[in-house]
Amino acid sequence: MSANSPSIGECLVHKEFPAITRHRLALYCGASGDHNPIHVDLDFAKAASFPDVFSHGMLVMGYLGQALTDAVAPSRIRSFSTRFAAITQLGAKLTCEGVVTELMEQGGEKRAKLALTTKDQNGEIKLAGEAVIAV
């Protein structure tokens, strides 16, 4: 099957990303304007009772958005929502997936609902969400 004629249970989105690094976090700070020191300053993170700095949640959401738009043309995405589930530590290798959970029709347009997840290399869910796409 494909994104044009999906079936329930089918994985339409699958993308693996390289490990989160300090360099990646610094680049994201510059690109996003989010300079919260918890993400780049080890001493600050330790003072806040964390063992190390950790990823911006929006960086992880960006990865999921990239995985979705790599699999489905942006013009076909009707909705995209997420919720943060866990902190993403340095070194995490993330895998983003989207599985069809429902097929429907709205306003004469055939659509599919996808359950979205971003997991680390240990299978821990870091981000969960949902998308609705036109099929």
- Does 39 fall in a domain? no
Contact assessment for residue 93 and residue 3, using Cβ atoms and an 8 Å cutoff: no
Q: What is the pTM of this model?
A: 0.92
- Does 70 fall in a domain? yes
The total number of structural domains in the chain stands at 1
Contact assessment for residue 131 and residue 79, using Cβ atoms and an 8 Å cutoff: yes
- Does 114 fall in a domain? yes
Q: Alpha helix (H) ranges present in 4-89?
A: 22-32, 42-47, 57-71
pLDDT of residue 4: 72
Q: Which domain holds residue 68?
A: 11-20+55-134
41-72 confidence digits (pLDDT tens): 999 999 999 999 999 999 999 999 999 999 99
Query: What are the residues whose beta carbons fall under 8 Å from the beta carbon of 91, sequence distance 6 or more?
Result: 19, 20, 21
